[in-house]
Amino acid sequence: MPEHNRVIQVAVPRPLHSVYDYAVPEGMPIPPAGCRVQVPFGRSTALGICVNTEVANPHSRLKPIHALVDAETSDPAVSHELLDLARWMSSYYHHPLGEVLATVLPAAARRGAEFSITAADCWQAVQPEYVNPRAPRQQLLLEFLTTHPGSSGAEIVAAGFSRALLNKLAALRVVDRIDQRADPQPKEPNLAASPEQALAIEKVHQTLGSFQTLLLEGVTGSGKTEVYLQSIASVVANGGQALVLVPEIALTPQTLSRFQRRFARTGMLHSALTDNERLQTWLKCRQGDFDIVLGTRSAIFTPCQNLQLIIVDEEHDSSYKQQDGLRYSARDLAAKRAQALSIPLLLGSATPSLESLYNAKRGRYQHLHLLNRAGGAQLPSFHVIDMRNENTLHGLSHQLIRVIRHHLDAAGQVLIYLNRRGFAPTVLCQNCGWQSHCSDCDAKLTLHQTPPQMICHHCSLRFQVPQQCEHCGHTALLPIGLGTQRAEENARQLFEGNPVYRIDRDTTRSNKQLNEQLAQINRGDPCILVGTQMLAKGHHFPNVTLVAVINADAGLLSPDFRAPERTAQLIVQVAGRAGRADRTGEVWIQSYQPENPLLTTLIESGYSGFAEAELTSRESAQLPPTTPMALIRAESADAELAKQFLQQCKTQSQALGLLTEINIMGPVPAPLGRIANRHRFQLMLIATSRRALHRCLSALDQTPAPSKLRWSIDVDPYDAM
């Protein structure tokens, strides 16, 4: 065979845009595209992915690949479908293909792990009639397994048999392993769907087998999950699989068990799994052992035998956007995958993103509604407290304190929502106004109390609590503002006798701790919950009758163009925790700007009225989603270097002659200009068309970074930080 027919192209996981040609040594089969190969690279070796086998390279001195990692070349690590998705991502996000492929594969797979599924440690008798009169213990174990088929190794040992005995019977082929998940019988029946739910389920059913995006906008507590479950049921009945994405914070054991009670063969992919557990679930999905896989952002890359439906729950959630490295949106990739596979995508939310609403408005998405809460629960009523004429005690207005007392007295639970963890957002000198800042960031330090320390929420540096002003030496330092720790302490004093639970990133480091707190809360006794947005997402607190939003203003006043959208979503989501069962709820919002039109529109016209108004203002300001945007970020210990690099990018783009199609703003310092002693600048590109935007980025994406500088392209940035 002539030499050039034994050449393949390999993408390696390095920040380089090229793919490289390698020779396949005689006697080694040519690996099909998608296979993992070990190749010499620079002075070391790399695990790359073969991306092309039809290469004509007359060069006779090509380096040979070292080894094929995927022994079964008929079953490459990256399927054809996902390889195409990776290629698309590489061009859309302007990111090197080798690094994209490394993101698509689970960590263990990209380190070269062998693809073998560890057999489940569950046992059954396969020759129950076997008799060995000289081994009574063997006989007893055999009887045990005949009466308890499917017992796990641990259960067998607990019943008094040794592992050695079990292994002996296994070697004799008297007993054998069984797959515990072999029983696909659903354990729990469907609920009787409401007419609204039934209509949505029917719509999804009608689209099975073709590409269509459906946006399910359903108020909090309207039973979106039931729509998902019944839609999945028709897929599973059809022998297909469903992929369900949920926000990071929402993938709790409660969520999983809700799906598992309906579908025995449910797999779960989340960040707390070990690399090997993750690989095992990935492999089982790939060979069709699971009917559903439930996972967070990166689960969008799960290979499936026969995928027939993708669902993205809480599609507006920011955790679907990867904020570093390859800055992809799992929601947008879900649409891409569904399109390639000709299957429907179901997006669900009580507060859809403006992106999705815009697509629905233009007729690209089918818009479905659930306007009522399931089981007849009422939506909460809204009240705004004008803080300008209120006396406050510990950050709570007297009016709010009265309302809280009232709800506690009526045996209700109260949820106090704040957007800041820690004790107080800043420490201020009463003499000169000095505030405590991080040494390495342009950010104020947050005072924490248990243990007492100052923490930077941007670089995580910790400092001692200052005893005197660093500027004037005065010792009258005052904690200013309210964090969750302080609100918890205040609530204990103000509402003595009522338990107070704090739920934020500091108190819920472990799932176990969170579950214990949730169990106590859901016993239903009057209590106060204090927390950050962790409280707003997905939880069901049947006895919460009052939700108090302590400070709605910060989000409404932020310069980030997405801040109003995010704030409205948070208020509606946290309000949605109130009155989810038979008792109606109230939402009280403290604001120094009670007539801010964003707030009044939200309260008077609900989220959809708010979203409509906000979309109009984005349109007239030429901002996403109506106008495509990208950010180029650069950071370096040397501010000048970062700024110059972006200036050079700008000059280069301007030379392309796209001036009427692309508006380039900057370079300007990022909203947080310095983090961990690195200066951060950004360039904003706003284009009249995606084509123009991509032409411009393609001209820039291979610019080599000067040493001591990091830079990145962010297409469809989520926040301009």
Give the residues lining the site for ligand ADP (CB under 6 A): 191-194, 197, 218, 220-226, 374-375, 540
Smallest gap from Cβ 252 to ligand ADP, in A, equals 13
Rounded Cα gap, residues 209 and 222, in angstroms: 27
- Nearer of residues 337 and 458 to Zn ion, judged by Cβ: 458
- We find the least distance from the C-beta atom of residue 522 to ligand ADP, in angstroms, to be 12
Choose from Zn ion, ligand ADP, none: what does 223 bind? Cβ within 5-8 Å by kind: ligand ADP
The correct pick among 157, 459, 534, 692 for binding Zn ion (CB under 5 A) is 459
Minimum distance between the CB of residue 343 and ligand ADP, rounded to whole angstroms?
Answer: 22
Among 31, 44, 29, 45, CA closest to 83 = 31
Give the contacts of 170 (CB within 8 A, at least 6 positions apart). Answer: 123, 176, 177
Residue 441 as a binder of Zn ion (CB under 5 A): the answer is yes
User: Closest separation between CB of residue 260 and ligand ADP, Å?
Assistant: 15
Smallest CA-to-CA distance from 403 within 414, 391, 394 is with 414
Burial of 241: CB neighbours in 10 Å, binned 0-12, 13-18, 19+ = buried
- Shortest Cβ 444–Zn ion spacing (Å): 10
**Among the residue ranges 162-170, 331-339, 470-478, 522-530, the one whose residues contact Zn ion (CB under 5 A):** 470-478
- Residue 191 or 465: the one with the smaller Cβ distance to ligand ADP is 191
Between residues 441 and 598, which has the closer beta carbon with respect to Zn ion?
441
Residue 65 or 200 having the CB closest to ligand ADP: 200
Both tokens of 162, joined, read 């040794």
**Beta-sheet strand order (sheet of 175-177):** 151-152, 122-125, 175-177
Sequence-distant (6+) residues with CB within 8 A of 300 are: 243, 245, 330, 333, 334, 337
Question: Would you say 24 and 8 are in contact if contact means Cβ atoms under 8 Å apart?
Answer: yes
In the complex with ligand ADP, the residue whose CB is nearer, 87 or 261, is 261
Nearer to Zn ion, 68 or 455 (CB): 455
| φ/ψ of residue 577, rounded to 5 | -80, -15
Asked if residues 279 and 108 have their Cβ atoms less than 8 Å apart, the reply is: yes
CA dist., res. 126 & res. 142, Å (int): 9
Q: Which stretch binds Zn ion (CB under 5 A): 41-49, 199-207, 466-474, 593-601?
A: 466-474
Beta carbon of residue 676, minimum distance to ligand ADP (angstroms, whole number) = 38
**CB of 569: closest distance to ligand ADP in angstroms?**
14
Q: Which is nearer to Zn ion, 275 or 440 (CB)?
A: 440
Taking the complex as a whole, how short is the minimal distance between the CB of residue 581 and ligand ADP, in angstroms? 8
Residue 438 contact among ligand ADP, Zn ion, none, beta carbon within 5 to 8 Å by kind: Zn ion
Please tell me the number of Cα atoms within 13 Å of 384 on its side-chain side. Answer: 19
| CA-to-CA separations, 461 to 422, 444, 709, in angstroms, rounded | 14, 12, 22
The per-residue DSSP string of 277-335 comes to HHHHHHHHHHTT--SEEEESGGGGG---SSEEEEEEETTT-GGGB--SSS--BHHHHHH
Q: How far apart are CA 609 and CA 615, in angstroms?
A: 10
Q: Which does 434 bind (CB under 5 to 8 A by kind): Zn ion, ligand ADP, none?
A: Zn ion
Give me the half-sphere count of Cα atoms (radius 13 Å) on the Cβ side of residue 698. Answer: 11
Residue 158 contact, options ligand ADP, Zn ion, none, Cβ 5-8 Å cut-off depending on partner type: none
DSSP 672: E
The residue (of 537 and 650) whose beta carbon lies closer to ligand ADP is 537
Contact partner at residue 590 from Zn ion, ligand ADP, none, CB < 5 to 8 Å by partner kind: none
Q: By CB under 5 A, is residue 462 in contact with Zn ion? A: no
Residue 472 near Zn ion by CB under 5 A: yes
Of residues 466 and 594, the one with the C-beta less far from Zn ion: 466
Name which of 66 and 261 has its Cβ closer to ligand ADP. 261
Residue 359 binds: one of Zn ion, ligand ADP, none (C-beta under 5 to 8 A by kind): none
Partner in contact with 193, chosen from Zn ion, ligand ADP, none, beta carbon below 5 to 8 Å by kind: ligand ADP
How many residues at the interface with Zn ion, by CB under 5 A? Answer: 15
Give the DSSP letter string of 595-660: T-HHHHHHHHHHHHHHHHHHHHHHHHTT-TTTS-EEEEEEEESSHHHHHHHHHHHHHHHHTTT-TT
Residue type, position 290, single letter: F
631 binds, among Zn ion, ligand ADP, none (CB under 5 to 8 A by kind): none
Q: Which of 121, 390, 440, 661: binder of Zn ion (CB under 5 A)? A: 440
Q: How far apart are CA 148 and CA 415, in angstroms?
A: 47
Among Zn ion, ligand ADP, none, partner that 194 touches (CB below 5 to 8 angstroms by kind): ligand ADP
Smallest gap, in angstroms, from Cβ of residue 544 to ligand ADP?
14
Closest CB 425 distance from Zn ion, rounded Å: 14
Question: Taking the complex as a whole, how short is the minimal distance between the CB of residue 582 and ligand ADP, in angstroms?
Answer: 12
Round to whole Å and give the CA distance between 621 and 663: 13
Q: Return contacts of 143-149, CB within 8 angstroms, 24+ apart.
A: 145/175, 149/124, 149/125, 149/178
446 has which bridge partners? 455
| Residue facing ligand ADP at closest CB distance | 223
How far lies 515's CA from each of 250, 252, 503, 530, 625, in Å?
13, 9, 11, 16, 38
- Letters for 413-432 (x = contact with Zn ion by CB under 5 A, - = none) are ----------------x-xx
Pick the closer one to ligand ADP by CB: 234 or 426: 234
- Is the CB of 669 or the CB of 706 nearer to Zn ion? 669
Site for Zn ion (CB under 5 A): which residue of 115, 290, 417, 434?
434
Helix (H) and strand (E) counts in the chain: 20, 32
Q: Which two tokens stand for residue 448?
A: 């924490």
Residue 471 makes contact with Zn ion by CB under 5 A: yes
220: partner contacted, choices ligand ADP, Zn ion, none (Cβ within 5-8 A by kind): ligand ADP
Name which of Zn ion, ligand ADP, none residue 432 binds, using a CB cut-off of 5 to 8 Å depending on partner kind. Answer: Zn ion
Residues that bind Zn ion (CB under 5 A): 429, 431-432, 434, 438, 440-441, 456, 458-459, 461, 469, 471-472, 474
